Amino acid sequence: MITATLVPSVIFGFLLLTDFLAWSRKSSAALPFGTFVALLSMWFGISLPLVFVGSMVGYRKPQLEYPVRTNQIPRQIPEQPWYLKLPISLIIGGFLPFVVIIEEIGGIYIEIWNDLAYYMYLRLLLITILVIVSTIEISVVITYFTLCKEDYRWWWKSFGLSSASSVYLIIFAFHHYIFMGGISGLIPTLIYFYHNIMVSIIYGVCMGTIGFLSTFFFVRKIYGAIKVD
């Protein structure tokens, strides 16, 4: 149920708040009532049922087996080096993929928010592939070093590492708004930040999922090669 409601409800809540303020000021940016009906229909009529269908299919699949047995008593985790501590890892894990896309993101911001046409889709596809590859590599490498230091708490850490670059997107949006945006007025500002927050959330969830799944299969592979009597 959380899968079907958490991210959509946050995005829909921001949209509803922004549209309510636009409607209260009689702004032309306010969405018509029919748009909200269509969005709710797609959410509860398409997205929600598909989540339940996917859950039913998943429950009928064989249970996932791990290559090694785990101890029921958690072992003590030794002191970790500074570069593997969670805040530092998140900063590193988010910064490197962001470096890959910062130039392209800057160009997209300039064209979209100045009502210009964006047409470099092949370049965007290549950048997308590069950022996915870099996200996977960073998540796998940091998780490997984490396991080498006997820290087995890698599940959420790998997701956080992969999705951390979405925070840099929000920071970049603030930078663009202050120094290069030229956006003024309450409603345009709210619309600007709504779109950026929405993109950052979706980007973070997608990258976090890709990074976690890649790391999960990597960990299964290396532990599957261990011979346990």
Question: What residues contact residue 205 under an 8 Å CB cut-off, 6+ apart?
Answer: 7, 163
Distance CA 93, CA 207 (A): 11
Per-residue pLDDT of the chain (229 residues; tens, 9 = 90+): 677 777 888 888 888 888 888 787 777 777 788 888 888 888 888 888 888 888 888 888 887 777 777 777 777 888 888 888 889 999 988 998 999 888 888 888 877 777 777 777 888 889 999 999 999 999 999 999 998 888 888 889 999 999 999 999 999 988 888 887 667 777 788 888 888 888 899 999 999 999 999 999 999 888 887 765 4
How far apart, in whole angstroms, are the C-alpha atoms of residue 103 and residue 210? Answer: 22
Q: Quick check: helix, strand or coil at residue 18?
A: helix
Alpha carbon 182 to its chain's center:
28
Which residues are within 8 A (CB) of 32 and not within 5 positions of it... i.e. 6 or more apart? none
Name residue, tokens 């501590």. Answer: 85
Buried b (16+ CB within 10 A) or exposed e, 199-222: ebbebbbebbebbbebbbebbeee
Neighbours of 109 (CB within 10 A): 19
Instruction: Identify the pLDDT of residue 227.
Output: 60
What is the reported pTM? 0.83
**Contact present, 228 and 68 (Cβ < 8 Å):** yes
- Hey, how many other C-beta atoms are within 10 angstroms of the C-beta on 112? 12
Output the pLDDT for position 171: 92
DSSP state of 74: P
What pLDDT, on the 0 to 100 scale, is given for residue 181?
Answer: 64
Determine contact, residues 135/64, Cβ cutoff 8 Å: no
Which stretch of DSSP H or E encloses residue 55?
helix 48-60
The first and second tokens of residue 132, run together, are: 């996915």
pLDDT for position 8: 83
